[in-house]
Structure 1
């Protein structure tokens, strides 16, 4: 079948799932309120990026007698793609379950490299710690969640206290981190080996300096005082993610930490985040327990 003929079949295949998705999004939007495109970097800042230095806040519509816990979600995308708008379903699902969710953008390669991405994420977390009470969130219960490259960035923010210290938070405000199939936990080891076809592409976001690779890898910053970590990986994910996640957990154990690692059988890398479309997904169930809302 030619490309043009295959194209004719796409609408029939996609329209129904799209309509169902829109209907479901509308239904789940009702219990939540979305505040879009909040700038977490001042527009007067010389480096302000009008698209990437923004975040969305999702709050439960139901009024609570006490502030809600807060989860900041950092998206993945190989450090060169991704957008907060695609992950609105995560914000909606979390808000529906009694969480104030913050879904962020950050600058991407090739415009910037990972140290600048990490700084963007730190500025978003600092903004959240300072302002989330205005949205009904509890800054004393601030957690991070990230998938893929976003998981590596989330782990780094919790482990390397310098990132938040630069933005006015000498005491790291992060109370815990849930990592969903995280990438980049040990890019120092990964880029030294370059075992897989196409690995050279990561020299664009990470550069060619091994000292930088090490500095942006959470593996080399965790201590006994690092906030608790909860990890999920797919049973069919990339070997590099599986291997580095297990190595990361082992490192935390050696420091006296008690991280939890759950392998979800049969799951590949992308479905590890796409499954979060469903409110009662096991990751949400465990996240609610992790942040003190579940049984």
Structure 2
């Protein structure tokens, strides 16, 4: 899978490079509809449509520490989700250090608006739009789910999102985050203000929050396991429906790979959870 049409990125760590090689191999030959939601090469997305749509649309953002990654990384997830009737959309976003917060978050909002207008809001029947992502992508998905200002700014309904499915996401930045160094996507100005603005756990607006399915690996980065537990507790305290799922034996990168497993696994769980959103009044449901 060729990625040479993108501008250069930050170099990957050995673990990151091995992860990239693995998921690109898994996604080789999987094709969808390519679209642009902005002028930058990273402001693009790919739509994968199932033969028998369930009415659920999942917009998913890749990881990469906010400084690397491509929408092509997530193509491997498409077959398992399509088999469940889920319309899958993999989206890119601008990266640090060239673009700092809130650029990537704004791209996520633009991608949601594009998908709502061109995919989820089209045709007859009920279409439910969900957001998710792995690692840094899970962070952006969660931040979109807990905040509201961007929805009105894009002319979207307050309940545009039916749910959020972050995997190994980041929910807290700054002090007590467990992150050893300041992420470069936050920039250098007004650190405390940026940390709070970029932390989903500090931005929970209960009235606007859709349900969450929070997933992480049992061998994930320790600070991300703690953050997932804290985010679930914060959502529950706010009265937001939340379900947690632990991928036994999976580290941070294996948790991402698990998002493409079939016939059983995370895609089947996620699809069932999304279907339930159409039939339930969003009760709080904490499961491990």
Could you list the runs of 5+ residues in structure 1 that have no partner in the other structure? Answer: 1-13, 42-47
Q: Partner residue of 1:39? A: 36
Q: How far does residue 267 in structure 1 lie from its aligned partner after superposition?
A: 1.3
Seen in structure 2, the aligned counterparts of structure 1 residues 259 and 170 have a Cα distance that, compared at 3 Å, is same
**2:133–2:141 contact (8 Å) kept in structure 1:** yes
Name the larger-Rg structure: 1
CA–CA distance in 1 between the matches of 2:49 and 2:108? 20
CA–CA distance in 2 between the matches of 1:194 and 1:287? 27
Match of 1:250 among 214, 233, 245: 233
Q: Partner residue of 2:130? A: 143
**1:146–1:179 contact (8 Å) kept in structure 2:** yes
SS of the residue aligned with 2:162? strand
Q: Partner residue of 1:205? A: 185
Seen in structure 2, the aligned counterparts of structure 1 residues 163 and 235 have a Cα distance that, compared at 3 Å, is same
SS of the residue aligned with 2:48? strand
Q: Partner residue of 2:216? A: 233
Q: Which digits, 9 at most, give the CA deviation of each residue in 1:138-162, with x for residues without a partner?
A: 7740011111011110011011111
CA–CA distance in 1 between the matches of 2:84 and 2:102? 33
SS of the residue aligned with 2:49? strand
**2:147–2:205 contact (8 Å) kept in structure 1:** no
Root-mean-square deviation (CA, aligned residues, Å) is: 2.7
Q: How far does residue 223 in structure 1 lie from its aligned partner after superposition?
A: 3.0
Seen in structure 2, the aligned counterparts of structure 1 residues 227 and 193 have a Cα distance that, compared at 3 Å, is closer
**2:55–2:126 contact (8 Å) kept in structure 1:** no
Q: Partner residue of 2:56? A: 69
Match of 1:218 among 159, 175, 200: 200
Q: Partner residue of 1:54? A: 44
Q: Partner residue of 1:6? A: none
CA–CA distance in 2 between the matches of 1:291 and 1:195? 31
Q: How far does residue 235 in structure 1 lie from its aligned partner after superposition?
A: 1.1
Q: Partner residue of 1:4? A: none
Per the normalisation by structure 1, the TM-score is 0.78
Q: Partner residue of 1:176? A: 163
SS of the residue aligned with 1:145? strand
**2:168–2:252 contact (8 Å) kept in structure 1:** yes
Q: Which digits, 9 at most, give the CA deviation of each residue in 1:65-94, with x for residues without a partner?
A: xx6310001111000001011211112332
- Which is bigger in relative contact order (C-alpha 8 A, separation at least 6)? 2
